Each structure stands twice: as structure tokens, then as C-alpha cells.
Amino acid sequence: MTKDNMIQVQNLTKMFGDFTAVNNISFEVEKGEVFGFLGANGAGKTTAMKMLIGISKPTHGAATVAGYNVLTEAEQVKRNIGYMSQRFSLYNDLTIKENIVFFGGIYGLSSADIKEKSQAMINELGLHDMADSLVGSLPLGWKQKVAFSVALLHNPKIVFLDEPTGGVDPITRRQFWEMIYMEANRGVTIFVTTHYMDEAEYCDRVSIMVAGKIEALDTPKNLKRQFQVDSMNQVFLKLARNIE
Ligand SMILES: Nc1ncnc2c1ncn2[C@@H]1O[C@H](COP(=O)(O)OP(=O)(O)OP(=O)(O)O)[C@@H](O)[C@H]1O
């Protein structure tokens, strides 16, 4: 791994029986980069991400995350990453504070650390009035903002976000992206999947997966130039259509 590469992927492949879900993908992600991992439903994004977070073994190929081999050093990988998914994030029947204490414990933080971080997070998000509310009673956008902060409790070097803003209104999505930028500016590497093409425009670089393969990877500006279109939405459609 070079000094600034936080994720390094070489010929990563995952097969389920005869079916190749992730087909020989290779890429690198730099420290502090916001890397968009795009693809249609079933393209192989989640399968690839599961290998990168050390919970699924590659069939072939190799990857290092935060300098650790995902195959042989999966525990170190897990300690150095944060993960947040639209589908599972916080416990609805715990309050915001209780969720912080719970996840802080899982991440192995001391009580003093949890107290300090919990206060800092509540201040940063302006959540004083809601800290003792059940997470289940919060609007989805707020839940996702809290979940993102919780995924960062243990100061991970990289945070993996799997469709973090699904179903969230555009204004809240924009606020969520401001939080993403703030963390990236602090040097946290962001690996994010999304189905929203406006969000693809916010990424430093974007990879687009089609049927298990990475068919395009560059900055949004270069991809638009390469495909001679004005938006990432058009890049996405053109790529999917070309492959058909
Ligand atoms: N455990 C599994 N066993 C067999 N096939 C699987 C398994 N997990 C995923 N697949 C298949 O691999 C392909 C890629 O799935 P994956 O969930 O990685 O796609 P995705 O790009 O994340 O899609 P989405 O955007 O819908 O989440 C799909 O055809 C899926 O059915």
C-alpha cells in the first residue's frame, strides 16, 4: 500500500457457485477521498463491500483496507473502519444517548470516552432536546445523521456507507453530505454507495459497476467528458445501455 492509499483492491472476485457476483475488480482509494461506488441493483456493490469490511472471503484476488489484508487481518480491518447502512443502523427502542453508549461499548471505548464523545456529538448535531428521545421517534433524516456520527465514534480511518440517504428528503440529504465532507476534510476516507445521481456528482471519484465488473472509474467531471453528457445520471444510463 502506498502512503495515501486507504483501500487497495486487486482482481477481487466473488463467486456463488457458478455465478460471478464480483468479477475481477481493481481500484484504489486515497486517504480523505470521497469515493462513490455505483451500480444498478444486483451489480455486485454489496458483495464487494462485504469483502472489503472483512465479513466475506474473496474467491480470488486481494484487498487491503487501512493497510490490513481483508483475508488474513479481518479483525484489524473491522477495528479501523466504520459502517453504516440504510437498512440497519441504530436501535429504534433505545434513546440517542443509549445508542451512543451501546455502540461505544461495542467499539471498546472507555466510559469517560463515551461520555465525552456523546456530549460532543449532541453539541455538533444540535440534538440537546432530543438526546433522551427514542431513536424510533426521530425523522429518518435525523436517524441517519445520528447513525453516521455513531459509525465514527471510534475514530475509524475509513467509513463505509451503504445507501446512507435512501428515502431521505433532498434538503436532509444535502445536510448529510455536508457531514460527509466535514469528515473527509478531517482525513476520514469515505466509501459510499448510492442510487442518487446528484450524490454521485458530490464524490471526488466514482466507480460504476455493471454485472460484477467496474465499467467506468474517474472524477464526475472526467466521466461526463468521456461519455459526452452533462450529468452523472446520463453517464449511468449511457453505460448501462451500452452494456445491454
Ligand atoms: N449469498 C449469495 N448467494 C448467491 N447469490 C448472491 C448472494 N449474495 C448476492 N448474490 C447475488 O449477487 C448479485 C450481486 O448482488 P449485490 O447484493 O452485491 O448487488 P448490489 O449491487 O449491492 O445490489 P443492490 O443495489 O440491489 O443492493 C445478485 O445477483 C445477487 O442475487
Predicted local confidence at residue 4, as pLDDT: 79
Q: Is the CB of 43 under 6 A from ligand 1?
A: yes
d(CA 29, CA 57): 20
d(CA 11, CA 63): 9
Domain at 80, CATH number? 3.40.50.300
Q: Report the DSSP beta bridge partners of residue 175.
A: none
Spatial CA neighbour of 166 closest among 130, 129, 193: 193
| Ranges assigned E (strand) in the chain | 5-16, 19-30, 34-39, 60-65, 68-69, 81-85, 158-162, 189-193, 205-210, 213-218
Residues sharing a CB contact under 8 Å with residue 233, sequence separation 6 or more, in sequence order:
197
Number of domains comprising the chain? 1
Q: Report the DSSP beta bridge partners of residue 29.
A: 7
State ipTM. 0.96
> Per residue in 165-176, pLDDT tens?
888 888 989 999
- The protein residue with its alpha carbon nearest to ligand 1, atom 18, reads 44
Q: Is the CB of 47 under 6 A from ligand 1?
A: yes
Give the predicted TM-score (pTM) of the model.
0.92
Q: Is the CB of 45 under 6 A from ligand 1?
A: yes
> Per residue in 81-131, pLDDT tens?
999 987 767 899 999 999 999 999 988 899 999 999 889 888 988 888 888
Q: pLDDT-based confidence at 2, cuts 50/70/90?
A: low
Asked if 1 contacts 171 with a C-beta cutoff of 8 angstroms, the reply is no
pLDDT over 60 at 9, yes or no = yes
Predicted local confidence at residue 125, as pLDDT: 86
Region of poorest pLDDT, from 68-72, 163-167, 210-214, 232-236 = 163-167
Q: Can you give the residue range of the structural domain that contains 83?
A: 5-243
Spatial CA neighbour of 156 closest among 220, 84, 85: 84
d(CA 207, CA 215): 8
Out of 12, 23, 25, 46, mutate this one to test ligand 1's pocket (max ligand atoms within 8 Å of CB): namely: 46
Q: Is the CB of 217 under 6 A from ligand 1?
A: no
